[in-house]
Amino acid sequence: MAPSSDGRSAPSHERYPPMYIPDLQEGRDLVPWHCPLQQLMRYHMPCAARLRLHAIFSFAMAQIFPFTAVTYSAQAGDPARLICPPYDIISPQQQEALYATSPWNYVRVVLNNAPGPQRYSQSAAALQEWLRSGILVKQESPALYLYRQSFPHPITGAPTFRMGFFCALRLEPYSSGVVLPHENTRAQAKEDRLNLMRATKANPEPILG
């Protein structure tokens, strides 16, 4: 117990700010603060046990970093005419419609209409030309990029919102349990996207998880 501001004794946990756990290195508390496990650690677990549990969570936590992004410039026009869905849900009809919306629609990078392996070199050529002409610009400093999406729920139709952020991620073997595969992907699809990355020397699409 410790004296409170009015001279009365206060429980030990009230001596610390809400976002601080004593005996853990400040800034490295990786368990969500709303998690029941966090409450157990904070109020009921001996210091040594908290440190051991903290070490386990620290080991399993992915390391993320800001990155220097390439983005569209104002010269490219209305962003709504530049974006496209993920490549693997674009039908041939949608691809044709996206081509018509803008000469700089991103479908020309992720799923252009060139035949066979030529589509990878055509994607790379598009990126290089857009950078040269100022349609795309490289940002001056690394950053994390927040995004917010709104859409009707696919079942109820209710307005739905989703928030996230884009970042760079340290690569880890799946066996470490740090980075988890987000779905069972086909070998053909993985080879296709890897060929695109090799041709463009870029990460043309985010890995969503």
pTM, two decimal places: 0.67
Domain boundary among the residues 61, 78, 93 is at: 61
Do 88 and 190 lie in a common domain?
yes
Beta-bridged to residue 64, according to DSSP, are: 169
Do 130 and 43 lie in a common domain?
no
Q: How far apart are CA 133 and CA 115, in angstroms?
A: 25
pLDDT in tens, 72-124: 999 999 999 999 999 999 999 999 999 999 999 999 999 999 998 899 999 99
Beta-sheet strands, E only, within the chain: 2-3, 9-10, 64-65, 70-72, 136-138, 145-152, 159-166, 168-169
Alpha carbon of residue 173 to chain centroid: 18
Count the domains in the chain: 2
Do 81 and 179 lie in a common domain?
yes
DSSP for 146-165 reads EEEEEEE-TTT--EEEEEEE
Contacting residues for 45 by C-beta, under 8 A, at least 6 apart: 53
Q: How far apart are CA 200 and CA 187, in angstroms?
A: 20
**pLDDT higher at 166 or 30:** 166
Residue 156: inside a domain? yes
Residue 4: inside a domain? no
Q: What is the pLDDT of residue 186?
A: 83
